[in-house]
Amino acid sequence: MILELEGLRHRYGEELAIEDVSFGLEEGELLGLLGPSGCGKTTIVQAIAGHVRPTAGRVFLRGRDVTGEPPETRRVGIVFQRSTLYPHMTVGENVAYGLVSRDVDPDRRGALVEEYLELVDLHGRREAYPSELSGGQRRRVELARALAPRPDVLVLDEPLSALDRRLRRQLRGEIARIQRETGVTTLVVTHDQEEAMALADRLVVMNAGRVVGVDRPRTLYESPPTPFVASFLGRSNALPATVVGRHPLSVTLGGREVAFDDGPDVPAGTTVSCHVRPEDVSIHPPHVAVPGTDPVLSGEVRHVEDVGRRYDVTVAVETGDELLVETSSDPPAVGDRVAVALSGDRVTVFDDGSSAAETS
């Protein structure tokens, strides 16, 4: 492990910011730390950087306990949410500054500045001042400055949140390329699930100061461990269902009895919630028999939104819930009666929000 956090807890006075946070980064890995505002991401970054001494728990870098050590002894490169470039220094001087503070031999500094400006595609802008660069270029200078001292870990704290959508996508690709080319172990901190999914090899999802899921992005998306992960990582519909049997778990949903390979171990009669993503629901004409064993509900179309590459259709179904359905063509009209079918093998069943199991 290059970086390992073990049971981190931090209090700001009475405020418990993080509790029992443990995860690690393997060499060369790009890990995404994802969670809503206020869940404790910045506190974790500060503990890794050495700006915050956690109330409890330990931080290891390459196996060495650095919890009590000051920031300058840690080989951690950080790009913060807001620009920290010195406006009175040129691009080259800004990048070199990170090398001075890391005691890099002065003879090597010039070559390293060149190398890293080239890596971020800014080799021609060495003499420019930050004010002469675009927002995206300034971010790339900061990446070069963080990378030039060859840190053990690169931490990117909400690196794209101040940029517009188009630039965010572009720079996201650049970060992925630079990480691949340098192989630097990287932690990307973000509240943007699309950004996290697109970039990360693995994701740590946080909520209210705690880690609530750690896995590959696709696995967390398809098999969310909690309702929070299901709804935070993309869009999710929740429908109540009644358990009619266990081992294997079966529930009645949409007038059909549906069996699952796996699920919470709860007695018959328990109400569970079944989560399904909008892309795993299909719309059919009413009163047409939908083949197979997938749950089918009838309902009325309440809302149709054309969002470009798809339509978002909201259907009020017989359970009293509203179901969001994605469809790529021929959307129904508001007021139409429809049948909606849930892909049974894409439904995740949760027991009152505390435990879950996937159905694959």
Our CB check for ligand ATP shows the closer of 43 and 237 to be 43
Closest CB 22 distance from ligand ATP, rounded Å: 16
Q: Is 39 in the site for ligand ATP (CB under 6 A)?
A: yes
Our CB check for ligand ATP shows the closer of 35 and 332 to be 35
The DSSP letter of residue 181 is: H
Binding residue for ligand ATP (CB under 6 A) from 41, 126, 138, 145?
A: 41
Binding residue for ligand ATP (CB under 6 A) from 38, 124, 245, 248?
A: 38
Closest CB 21 distance from ligand ATP, rounded Å: 11
Closest CB 163 distance from ligand ATP, rounded Å: 16
Side-by-side strand order, sheet with 202-207: 76-79, 153-157, 185-190, 30-34, 202-207, 210-215
Closest CB 12 distance from ligand ATP, rounded Å: 3
Nearest to 259 by CA among 349, 161, 149, 159: 349
What is the residue type of 50? G
Our CB check for ligand ATP shows the closer of 7 and 173 to be 7
Binding residue for ligand ATP (CB under 6 A) from 37, 131, 328, 354?
A: 37
* Interhelix angle 135-147/165-182, nearest 10 degrees: 20
Our CB check for ligand ATP shows the closer of 15 and 330 to be 15
Please, which of residues 42-61 interact with ligand ATP by CB under 6 A? 42-43
What is the residue type of 20? D
Q: What is d(CA 167, CA 119) in angstroms, rounded to the nearest whole number?
A: 18
Stretch that binds ligand ATP, among 12-20, 90-98, 146-154, 235-243 (CB under 6 A): 12-20
Q: Is 338 in the site for ligand ATP (CB under 6 A)?
A: no
Our CB check for ligand ATP shows the closer of 35 and 331 to be 35
SS3 call for 193: helix
SS3 call for 284: strand
Q: Among all chains, which residue has been given the structure tokens 């935070």?
A: 232
Q: Are 353 and 273 within 8 A, CB to CB?
A: yes
Please, which of residues 187-216 interact with ligand ATP by CB under 6 A? 191
Q: What is d(CA 267, CA 59) in angstroms, rounded to the nearest whole number?
A: 43
Binding residue for ligand ATP (CB under 6 A) from 8, 9, 34, 40?
A: 40
Closest CB 16 distance from ligand ATP, rounded Å: 8
Q: Is 15 in the site for ligand ATP (CB under 6 A)?
A: yes
Q: Is 82 in the site for ligand ATP (CB under 6 A)?
A: no
Instruction: Look up residue 149 and give its two tokens.
Output: 């001292």
Q: Which residues contact 359 (CB under 8 A, 6 or more apart)?
A: 260, 261, 262, 263, 344, 345, 346, 347, 348, 349
Q: What is d(CA 159, CA 168) in angstroms, rounded to the nearest whole number?
A: 9
Dihedral sign for Cα atoms in the order 182, 147, 33, 4: positive
Closest CB 56 distance from ligand ATP, rounded Å: 15
Longest Cα separation, the chain: 79
Q: Is 223 in the site for ligand ATP (CB under 6 A)?
A: no
Rg for the chain, CA atoms, rounded: 25
Stretch that binds ligand ATP, among 32-40, 54-62, 255-263, 338-346 (CB under 6 A): 32-40
Which residues contact ligand ATP (rule: CB under 6 A)? 12, 15, 17, 35, 37-43, 191
